[in-house]
Amino acid sequence: MIYLIFKRIWPYRKKVILKNLAICFPELSNAETAGLADRYYRHLADLIIEPFLVRKLSPQDLAKFVSYGNQSVLHQLIKEKKDIVLMVSHYGNWEYLFSLPLLTDCNVLAAYSPVSNRMLNEKLKGLRSRFGVKLVPKTHWYRSVVNWQDTKPAIFINIADQRPADAGKHVVQFFRHNTYIQTGAARMAIRRNSAVVYLDVQQRGVNKYNFRFNLLVKDAARMTETEIMKLYYAELEKSIKRQPELWLWSHNRWKFGFPGALPQKHINVDSAKSVRQS
């Protein structure tokens, strides 16, 4: 039902979606681009429904929907008393990560943005923290991570692919284009000299995902913010190319344009025909 609303009645952010797909996949035909946008709408509908499907599941039942691979990466780092900055993306369903404390007895912290409706805000907080994730308001996130102290190691969950508030100074190559990026996750990792781990995601069925932990950097203080983010975006690009419909294409990721040459292909939303930018 939600998918049909997006497709037939309210084509949610269609211009942004088609623009982003044209930037990343200029080789696709109009029909292929439209098909990918359609698959994205199906995924977006699932994202809305899934929190309600799993909100009361037991850990045993939840394991039918989400599995964690390469757990040895986490366990070895924790054994060595290393904090971990876990770099997550708007890819797949990142909300399933509320189950991460089931894998380990270390601290797991995540940022959240409070919603204005108090009742809804409390329900969302309860859903995300019910297995032990410690939620920190987004406005206090960086300071809380940098100043965090405990006898046990911590995993800091960071959604790292967000657009910066302004064009900024940090740029990486992403889908063949220079792209402005946020570097907060890398900066906090360097401050704590923590390990940096990438969360890879694969969908294995309707509402079902495999998560996999890939080590990017063991000692973040040995690298710069941009060097760490280059590693992250290289992994994210590989994930997106594997199952492109799972990324958040409705986010205006390239709002500030490109520090360099513009992409040559553009999608006209009304006709869905490729044209050259003038």
CB 217 within 8 A of CB 5: no
More confident residue, 266 or 48: 48
pLDDT digit string (tens) for 245-258?
999 999 999 998 88
Q: How far apart are CA 194 and CA 62, in angstroms?
A: 29
pLDDT digit string (tens) for 151-201?
999 999 999 999 998 877 899 999 999 999 999 999 999 999 999 999 999
Q: How far apart are CA 199 and CA 183, in angstroms?
A: 17
Kindly report the pTM of this predicted structure.
0.89
pLDDT of residue 48: 86
Burial 133-157 (b: 16+ CB within 10 A, else e): bebbeeeebbebbeebeeeebbbbb
pLDDT of residue 260: 63
pLDDT of residue 273: 35
Q: Which domain covers residue 254, as residue numbers? A: 2-276
pLDDT of residue 55: 77
pLDDT of residue 269: 39
Q: Give the pair of three-digit tokens for residue 129.
A: 């923290």
Q: What is the number of structural domains in the chain?
A: 1
**pLDDT band at 123, cuts 50/70/90?**
confident
